[in-house]
Structure 1
Amino acid sequence: MAAGEVVRAKLVTTIPTTREAHVPASTSVAIIGAGPAGLMLGHLLAQAGVPFVILEAQPREHVLGRIRAGVLEQGSVDLLARHGLDADLRERGLTHHGIYLQYEGERHHIDFLDLVGRTVTVYGQQALVAHLLAEHDRIGSTIVFEAKEVQPTGVTDPRPTVTYTHDGVGHEIECDLVVGADGYHGICRRSIPSGEIEVFERSYPFGWLGILADVPPSTDDLIYALHPEGFGMHSMRSLEVSRLYVQVAPDESIDDWSDARIWDALHERLGLEGWQLQEGPITEKSITPMRSFVTSTLQHGRMFLAGDAGHIVPPTGAKGLNSALADVAMLGQAILDHRAGDDTGLARYSERALARQWKVQHFSQWMTEMLHVLHEVPDASARAFRYRSQVGQLDHLTGSVAARRSLAEQYTGLPFTE
């Protein structure tokens, strides 16, 4: 296939009956995974005329139904706007100038716009994926859903291949580069020899029970609350739908949490004199364990990892989706430079992306440890000491302009070009 030729095979669009797109035997970039990272990278390549194929293990309706993060940093919003992918975001996104930190019966506002001149936007990952997919439909991108037994091979050779099966038929794609945007459980990271990659991981002794409720938000900005019974959070997905969380043990069963018990916990942890949490029908609820995870490299030969394939953060700092978009912003430009004859960006991609990611990991860990209660500490005095030190930390944060500015700088997002 000639350089610059755009793949124009029809995308599978029918739900639930799907049919395979016409997939070329050779392309420039094989992207494994149709989450936000893979879909966004596809658009960056398409706009530069770079041929690509996206392979996704799950059905299209499963991809569209995955409920994930919902806060975009300023850099993520700017990236979408620069590439003309923000129409739905501008219509449905909710711009927020800051967050509330609540503890000891008081609520304090951290004004990002005043502190650093930036904002964040509440816009669910589910909506972003739907919009990016619709735009791929419009331009005729080649995306294969339900691609099974995907396997990148020969990634240290000049022309890697990716094999997969679809409807029981085997296929092979030869490419210049492979991008693993296939998440924590994907094949790309696991295909790197153990001696070539190291994993750094930490699990937390708590999880988040999250709900979606059909009720307008009871707050104008997100609320993060430290309470003796555990963390609580009030977020939103729209002006009609609220997203709320409570800290629970990671091994608890969602079956043990009735709707009434959930609302009782939310009222207790978010309650404030003169403020009322409004209840509504709960349409979705689940428990998510909390963990941190980073790989030692995001590159093996001509294969590059992006997003959850290479790193995961606890959701407290709202960094997962934004980290994935930061990765592909760097990687997309590096691929374009590579096609122009400059491999500097590809050679430095892993180093640059991981340098940014470790800063993000620190912020996410800091937010998590400041706002969650360690019920697992057996000694009552030690538990009380830790809780009082968390209150002291929050007192310093809310009372110091320098500390608030540091939080605002990191929450609204580090540059995508570090």
Structure 2
Amino acid sequence: MLGFSALRVSRLYRCGKVLVAAALFGVVLMNTHSLIASFQRNELADRRFVGLNKCPACFGTSWCRKFMNGQVSFEMWGRLRFLDLFNVKNVFFAQYGEPREGSRRVVLKRLGSNQELADIDQKICKRATGRPRCDLLQAVPKTEFSRLNGDVRLLTPEAVEGWSDLVHCPSQRLLDRIVRRYAETKDSGSFLLKNLKDAERMQLLMTLAFNPEPLVLQSFPSDEGWPFAKYLGACGRMVAVNYVGAELWSYYHAPWETRVDLARQLMDIAEQLTNNDFDFALYLLDVTFDNFAVGSRDGKVIIVDAENVIVADKKLIRQNKPEGYDVWYESRVEDCDKEACLSFSKDILCSRVTNDHNYYAVCQNLLSRFATWRGTTGGLLHDPPADVVRDGQLQALLDECTRPRRPYGRFQAARELRDLLTQLR
């Protein structure tokens, strides 16, 4: 009886696959004309497709000439619009070409799902007109973004506090840095908000409120050694960043020596973002295998999703001295039924000089036996060699980094783990 049931299930499974394949073939057949057309045209040169028609309710215009001139084009599968149903994050791969330099791969992002982008339009309309639909070009100047136009000298913490993770606890020093390094203006380099054109100012503020990832990449650029993908430019609601390489997840089954090297780099990133000469602590709130990539040439680990990053100004914390500001804070582990969970308090991240959040996030979600992702457990350092298992030190440090048993044990474990990974590498 069991054999018969298994046989029937197997047949049903095969029939299901045939039906799905037939359905896909039917879809392709019915859309043959549009498919051929999609390969013949470059949609990235279409103002409406990239969202340029929505500016200044957009992310910038610095790359619009490149888009409109056809220098940016989707790679093959990116041209098939029906595949957008599976591309919820609106992330695309494209080729960017310069006459004398040839072409190179870039990543294009809409910085949100179609629904999230529609929601932001609706919010702008409701605030400006009270209706869910309107002419965005007429509505944006009537929102809070326009109140910072005119002769307003500085972008202040009071104006933007809580707009997004980047400015959950803003300091004037951070905001001056954001404005000074804003790449969507020809006159970058000044921290004075009034030096930006009205449209540029509203684009900056909308980006800050909706998805500040471009501003993180601009304010803490890879050219200065920060572990983020390089920001290239924007056109309308399409942002271009440098292609790094395959996502970290693709290295899950790489040779042990490779995984040890990647683990050491991840711990180095945690240290750099926590303690640096600029006295800004950048805390990663969303740490998953998909949010990191590995350089195809140099093997360097880079953060490729920087939407959820809190920046705490340690200088301001020392100056204001909130209660307990100089007490080392240890992140608490809480059980969660979802993958890649992290427990944290944004307010505490903003009010303590010394915080172990980044070490906890990397150990918990990427390296240790507690890490879970896509149905797997064991983390990047799974299945170590027999001699490493016998030694026991690596497992002990990973456990202490994830579930510390001693007061401030994670801080010490993170330091020792970096040293041990260097030796193993």
Name the structure with the higher helix share.
2
Name the structure with the higher strand share.
1
Q: Quick check: TM above 0.5?
A: no
**TM bucket by the smaller chain?**
under 0.3
Structure with greater contact order relative to length (CA < 8 Å, sep ≥ 6):
1
Q: What TM-score does the superposition give when structure 1 sets the normalisation length? A: 0.26
Task: Tell which structure's C-alpha radius of gyration is larger.
Answer: 2
